[in-house]
Each structure stands twice: as C-alpha cells, then as structure tokens.
C-alpha cells in the first residue's frame, strides 16, 4: 500500500521554549536544530524573531546554517513582526513565515478587543504582506477549536486567497477531543475552496492529555502536517510529543496509511540532548523516551521479555536508539531475571545457589528502592563464602 507522507513541523525552539524553564541560548538552539536535521524533521520553527534580539539571532543562525528542512519564523499578524521574521529568515534556502491571529470570540473580545470583521481583514492583509516577502506562508487561527466553524472557514478562505500555503488548525488550549477535532478538519476541507492546493496542519496542546490523540485524529481526517515538540515540551501541559506521534505511525502501520521521514533510531539521543540543554529529563514513565519506557521490574514481565521481547514490548529499545539494558531488579523481580542479570555479569548459578541468592536479594530489595550490581555481587560472594569447599 502506497503511503502519503505527513510533514513533521518541530516547534521545540519556539512553542516548546515558551514553557517555564525551557529557555535556550542561541548556541543551544543551533545545536538542537542540527540534531533535528539529523532526526529528519521537515520543518524547524526556529523561534519568534521579534521577541528578543537573541531569538532573532538564533533564527538567523539556524536559517543560514541548516540545510534540508524548511526553517520557519513565527510572527503575529503585524507588519513589524512579519518584517523582522523575514529579515531573520531570508538567508535560508527554504524559509517560511508563520503568522497567527485568534479567531475565537473569547479571544477577540477579551484579548484582542476587535470585531470578527476586523480580525478577518487583518489576517488577510498580513498574510498578503507576508506572501509579498516569502513564497511559503503558514497561517494559524489561534484557538480554532473554540471558534465558530462558519466564521473560521471564512477567515481561512480569506487567507488562502491572500496567499497562505499552509493552514494550521490550533487547539491552543487543549480543549478539543479526537472525534470533534477530526470533524472540524473534515468541515474545513469541505468548505474551503482550493483546499487541495494548501496543506492542512494540526497543532494540539496537551491540557487534557489528548494532544497526540487529537493530532492523529486530524491526520485521519486529512491533515498532512503535524506540529509537535521533542519530549512534548511547551506551555502549561505541553504540546503533542514528536516521538509519540512518530512511533504510533511506525508501530501501527496497520491502522495508518501515512508515514513520516523521522529517523527513529535518532529519537532517544534527540530527547537526551534536549534534556541536557534544559537541565531536566522527561518524567520516568514518559512514553518512548522516559527512563522506564522499556524497563521491567515485575517478575512475570521480565520472564516474558527475556523469553521473547514481543511479550511485553511493542517496539524494541534499539528501534528508537535506547540502550538495550532494560531489566530493572526490584522486589517484584523473579528468579529468571536475577539469573539473567548475574549471567550477564559473568556468574552462572546452580538451582540451589540461585534459590539462596534470591532469598537474600528479595530481603534486600524490600528495604531499598534500587538494587545495584554491586549489591548483587556482595550477596553472591557472601553466599559463596558460606558454601563449604569439598
């Protein structure tokens, strides 16, 4: 079956960086951008140039030094933002101006304090200005999922006629659900004249824990670009997680007729690089890249994994570049895992010796969270010292 490609738009350097504690220096942004290039993302949103001189410099550096991916710069719907973004992007072989304006009534009334008509005219005028500078223009209706669908379609039609090449349907506050979001994407595809000439994109936040599910629902409904971040970083509860999206589409190819260009073996090292830059790792139980994602402590699971990894792993650690040592010994572990671990350390035990060592191991594991290799050796050597020499 021939598969369509879904573009991966990484916004770790812009939307992800907006989260508390996620600010990056210019050189750190360039370092991560180079890694994203190796990872195989299609678009790198390098920053928000008007936000600060440092952000403008980061976008300039990424635009001038990274080849292959499209390099996007973010801009609000103002001439100043768009002009500054273009100045930062202009050295890129493949630049994109990404501009946005809210379309929900709550944002228009209380945040922007403008009418629907004013917002529509402003969006169209600013997209036209961006298009006069750059051939690739993305427009995001902010808070699209809480907007009136009919008005949303009017705005999208206006910006397409003004020159927008990508329409990014934002679930800015993480409010929507998969079925609802898929229906919105379908409505937009049906109501938009010339929809076949633009790329529909999804951008979902994780406030209800549905960012990845909503993004995939959007893809099933016809979207062909996903905006996401490494480790799911981003404001509040974060953005859709790049690594989760990539691996869902890879592991569940039986359910999805699309593919990405992500090099899966680069996923874990990309996650680790970001963690090093930010100074904190993803939570231990984070899917794909958390330190427990491929760890097994329960004896039943350990026995199954050692017999055949597919018993309890739907992908191998090596697939995403995780080191393969995934057996964690604790009080829930069984004799099979203990024997395997000791064998890896160069010690094969008889059945009787294993039983005695296991008894002491469980007693120790009950009193401490982590049982280390040195603990096992201490138990083993103490046990062997008590065995009479014939």
Mean pLDDT over the full length of the chain: 90
Binned at pLDDT 50, 70 and 90, residue 356 comes out as confident
Asked if 200 and 185 touch (Cβ cutoff 8 Å), the reply is yes
pLDDT in tens, 121-134: 999 999 999 999 99
Binned at pLDDT 50, 70 and 90, residue 353 comes out as confident
pLDDT in tens, 93-131: 999 999 999 999 999 999 999 999 999 999 999 999 999
Mean pLDDT, range 64-92, rounded to an integer: 98
The secondary structure of 300-345 as a DSSP string is: HHHHHHHH-GGGT-SS-GGGGT--S--B--STT--HHHHHHHHHHT
Asked if 287 and 241 touch (Cβ cutoff 8 Å), the reply is yes
What percent of the chain is predicted at pLDDT more than 90?
72
* Sign of the alpha-carbon dihedral angle for 206, 322, 255, 193: positive
Q: What is the CA radius of gyration of the chain?
A: 25
* CB under 8 A, 24+ apart: contacts of 121-125: 122/77, 123/77, 123/155, 123/158, 123/159, 123/162, 124/158, 124/159, 124/161, 124/162, 125/162
Mean pLDDT, range 253-261, rounded to an integer: 96
Mean pLDDT, range 279-296, rounded to an integer: 84
Asked if 5 and 259 touch (Cβ cutoff 8 Å), the reply is yes
Q: What is the pLDDT of residue 300?
A: 45
Asked if 100 and 170 touch (Cβ cutoff 8 Å), the reply is yes
Mean pLDDT, range 312-323, rounded to an integer: 81
Lowest mean pLDDT among 138-142, 172-176, 221-225, 295-299: 295-299
**How far apart, in whole angstroms, are the C-alpha atoms of residue 16 and residue 5?**
24
Q: What is the pTM of this model?
A: 0.84
The CATH homologous superfamily of the domain defined by 4-278: Aldolase class I (3.20.20.70)
Report strand pairing: 137-142 vs 199-204: unpaired
Q: What is the pLDDT of residue 305?
A: 45
Q: What is the pLDDT of residue 309?
A: 56
Q: Which residues belong to CATH 3.20.20.70 in the chain?
A: 4-278
Asked if 64 and 70 touch (Cβ cutoff 8 Å), the reply is no
Binned at pLDDT 50, 70 and 90, residue 317 comes out as confident
Q: What is the pLDDT of residue 310?
A: 58
Nearest to residue 216, comparing CAs of 161, 256, 184? Answer: 256
């Amino acid at each position: 079956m021939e598969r369509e490609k879904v573009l991966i738009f990484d916004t770790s350097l812009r939307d992800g960086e907006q989260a508390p504690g996620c600010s990056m220096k210019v050189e750190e942004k360039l370092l991560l951008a180079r890694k994203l290039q190796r990872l195989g993302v299609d678009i790198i949103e390098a920053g928000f140039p008007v936000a600060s001189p440092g952000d403008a410099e980061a976008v300039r550096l990424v635009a001038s030094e990274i080849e292959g991916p499209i390099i996007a710069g973010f801009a609000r719907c103002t001439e100043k933002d768009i002009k500054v973004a273009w100045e930062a992007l202009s050295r890129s072989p493949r630049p994109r101006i990404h501009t946005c304006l809210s379309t929900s009534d709550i944002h228009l009334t209380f945040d922007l304090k403008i009418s629907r008509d004013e917002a529509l005219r402003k969006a169209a005028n600013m997209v036209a200005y961006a298009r006069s500078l750059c051939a690739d223009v993305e427009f995001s209706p902010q808070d699209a999922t809480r907007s009136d669908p009919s008005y949303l379609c009017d705005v999208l039609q206006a910006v397409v006629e003004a020159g927008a090449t990508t329409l990014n349907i934002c679930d800015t506050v993480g409010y929507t659900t998969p079925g609802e979001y898929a229906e919105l994407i379908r409505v937009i595809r049906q109501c938009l004249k010339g929809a076949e000439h633009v790329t529909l994109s999804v951008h979902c936040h994780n406030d209800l824990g549905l960012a990845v599910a909503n993004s995939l629902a959007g893809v099933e409904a016809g979207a062909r670009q996903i905006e996401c971040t490494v480790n799911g970083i981003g404001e509040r509860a974060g953005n859709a997680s790049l690594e989760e999206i990539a691996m869902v589409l890879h592991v569940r190819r039986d359910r999805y007729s699309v593919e990405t260009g992500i090099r899966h073996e680069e996923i874990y090292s990309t996650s680790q690089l970001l963690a090093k830059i930010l100074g904190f790792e993803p939570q231990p139980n984070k899917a794909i890249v958390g330190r427990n994602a491929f760890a097994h402590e329960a004896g039943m699971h350990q026995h199954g994994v050692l017999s055949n990894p597919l018993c309890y792993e739907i992908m191998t650690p090596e697939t995403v570049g995780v080191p393969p040592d995934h057996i964690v010994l604790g009080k829930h572990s069984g004799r099979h895992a203990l024997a395997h671990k000791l064998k890896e350390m160069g010690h094969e035990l008889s059945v009787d010796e294993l039983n005695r060592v296991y008894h002491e191991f469980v007693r120790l594991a009950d009193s401490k969270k982590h049982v280390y290799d040195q603990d096992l050796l201490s138990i083993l050597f103490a046990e062997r010292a008590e065995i009479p020499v014939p």
